[in-house]
Structure 1
Amino acid sequence: MAGVLDSVNQRTQLVGQNRLELLLFRLKGRQVYGINVFKVKEVLQCPRLTAIPQRNPVVRGVAHIRGETIPIIDLGMAIGHPAIPDSEISTSFVIITEYNRKTQGFLVNGVERIVNLNWESILPPPKGTGKDVYLTAVTKIDEKIIEIIDVEKILSDVSPLREDVSESVMRDDFREKASAMKIMVVDDSSVARRQVERCMKAVGLEVVTSNDGKQALELLQSMVADGSNITDHLSLMISDVEMPEMDGYTLVTRCKADPLLADLYIMLHTSLSGVFNKAMVEKVGANDFMAKFNPDELAERVMQVIDNNGQS
């Protein structure tokens, strides 16, 4: 227990400071990629893989690791690179991750090191890269460009999530009052933004979107520039945690420190999961936390929040 608490304390020291730890790895070639350490459960030499019938071609098989059967995705192949040859799989590495309540492994050619960075040094992809590129951000380390892959887009392609809200969850009474309400959705992943926006529109809410915390904060500040309270403009904000330039934790901290923004109900909605979330949410003062992505759960929670706040 002491070890777990120490680990929580070490992780939460980064929270609200706009910092992250990035695990650097390689696919084929010289390009270096990164993934947030918070999403990494384990890194290991690729174990024996078992083929599964009718699999997506980028899923090279499943591995039995610590009592779990985990799909192993060829990450290079998923973003359009050649597949790792069968003869090289045993000398490759697997990054075991937890995204959107599911555990999967990413097959990569090599793993390098962990670096501690400021989110301000993590920038959106260059303009002109196109909407279908598997890239959510870039940064520079030792004069080398590091590419951060949009894992949610990859997983959406490999194993699509159900995005529609069930009819049984819909409420006519809520849709009537929701037509006059607006919420903000903040996420750097175009796939995640689309999923949440579609969910919120299904229950009748108007949605404003932002691509990262910095953009969201600027938009919020512009709304209250006349001295009004943010609750005059928005019913709540749903924000991702991992975002370039300003992460979700820092966004919450900045909002709660501003008297005109402090009353905004903020839900962190993230693919980050595990034992650290409760401590993180409490530290920055977020009102709620949900793991991505279940459309019915999200719709029900948002409707409940608005009902409890007595908004009409």
Structure 2
Amino acid sequence: MAGVLDSVNQRTQLVGENRLELLLFRLRGRQMYGINVFKVKEVLPCPRLTSIPNSRPMVRGVAHIRGETIPIIDLSMAIRGPALPAEDVATSFVIITEYNRRTQGFLVSGVDRIVNMNWEDIMPPPKGAGKEVYLTAVTKLDDKLVEVIDVEKILSEVSPLDEDVTETVLSKNTRDRSTSRPVLVVDDSAVARRQMIRCLTAIGLEVESRNDGKQALDYLKEVTSDGSAVTDHVSMVISDVEMPEMDGYTLVARCKNDPELRDLYIMLHTSLSGVFNKAMVQKVGADDFMAKFSPDELAERVMEILDRE
């Protein structure tokens, strides 16, 4: 238990400081990629894989790890690249991750190291990259480009989530929300933004969306520049944690330390899972936290929050 608490304490030192730890890895070739360490459960040499009939080609099989049966996704194939050759699988590595309440492994050809970085040095993909790009961010390390992959986009294609609010939940929505102030959704993943917007509009809410914490903070300062209360313009904020330029923790901390924005209700809504979240949320002062992505749970929680007013 002491070891777990020490780990929590070490990791939470990054919270609110706009910093992250990236695990660097390679697929095929020399290009370096990164993934947030918070999403990584462990890294291990590729275990024995058992094939799954009728599965997508990018799912190379399942592995039995610590009592769990975990799908192993060829990350190179998932981003429309070449498959890792069968003869190289035995010498490759698997990054075990937890996203959106699911555990999966990503097959990679090599793992490099962990680096501590500032989110201000993590930039959105180039605007000309197109909608089909599998990146949420890019950065430079030792004068080399590091690409941060949009894992939520990959998982939405490998194992799509149900994005619709059920009729059972919709039947509980007895209030006319057409006159409610907009909900501000903040997420760097286009897939995640689409999922949340679809969920919130299903219960009659208007939605504003921004791609990262800096854009969101600029928007909030803009609507209050005339001296009006932020709650006159936005009913609540639902923000991801991992975002380039300014992460969700830093967005919360900046808002809660600003007299003009501190009354705004902010929920962190993230695919990050594990034992660290409670300590992180308490440190930055967020009003609520929810793990992605259940449309029914999100719709019910938002209705409950807004109905308190």
**Alignment of structure 1 residues 59-70 onto 2, 5 Å:** 59-70=59-70
Matched, 1:22 2:22: yes
State the partner residue of 2:293: 293
SS in 2 for 1:252: helix
SS in 2 for 1:136: strand
State the partner residue of 2:133: 133
Shift of 1:181: 2.6
1:118 counterpart letter in structure 2 = N
State the partner residue of 1:183: 183
2:244 counterpart letter in structure 1 = P
SS in 1 for 2:38: helix
1:214 counterpart letter in structure 2 = K
After superposition, the C-alpha distances for 1:87-107 in whole angstroms (9 at most, x for unaligned) are 110100000000000000000
After superposition, the C-alpha distances for 1:139-189 in whole angstroms (9 at most, x for unaligned) are 000000000000000000000000000011014754513443311000000
SS in 2 for 1:17: coil
Report the Cα distance in structure 2 between the residues aligned to 1:173 and 1:7, rounded to whole angstroms.
42
1:294 counterpart letter in structure 2 = S
Report the Cα distance in structure 2 between the residues aligned to 1:143 and 1:173, rounded to whole angstroms.
53
Report the Cα distance in structure 2 between the residues aligned to 1:300 and 1:29, rounded to whole angstroms.
46
Structure 1 contact 58–73 (Cα < 8 Å) conserved: yes
Number of residue pairs the alignment of both structures matches: 309
State the partner residue of 2:56: 56
Report the Cα distance in structure 2 between the residues aligned to 1:137 and 1:42, rounded to whole angstroms.
23
Structure 2 contact 242–248 (Cα < 8 Å) conserved: yes
Report the Cα distance in structure 1 between the residues aligned to 2:23 and 2:118, rounded to whole angstroms.
14
> Structure 1 residues 282 and 50, CA, compared in 2 at 3 Å: closer, same or farther?
same
Structure 1 contact 174–203 (Cα < 8 Å) conserved: no
Using the TM superposition, name which of 178-187 and 190-199 deviates more.
178-187
RMSD (CA atoms): 0.9
Structure 2 contact 173–203 (Cα < 8 Å) conserved: no
State the partner residue of 2:101: 101
Shift of 1:306: 0.7
Identical aligned pairs, as a percentage?
73
> Structure 1 residues 43 and 177, CA, compared in 2 at 3 Å: closer, same or farther?
same
When normalised by structure 1's length, the TM-score is 0.98
Matched, 1:273 2:286: no
SS in 2 for 1:269: strand
State the partner residue of 1:151: 151
SS in 2 for 1:35: strand
After superposition, the C-alpha distances for 1:95-151 in whole angstroms (9 at most, x for unaligned) are 000000000000000000000000000000011000111011000000000000000
State the partner residue of 1:263: 263
Report the Cα distance in structure 1 between the residues aligned to 2:174 and 2:284, rounded to whole angstroms.
30
Structure 1 contact 34–146 (Cα < 8 Å) conserved: yes
SS in 1 for 2:61: strand
Structure 1, unaligned stretches of length 5 or more? none
Shift of 1:81: 1.0
Structure 2, unaligned stretches of length 5 or more? none
State the partner residue of 1:192: 192
Shift of 1:228: 1.1
State the partner residue of 1:78: 78
SS in 1 for 2:155: helix
Report the Cα distance in structure 2 between the residues aligned to 1:65 and 1:250, rounded to whole angstroms.
35
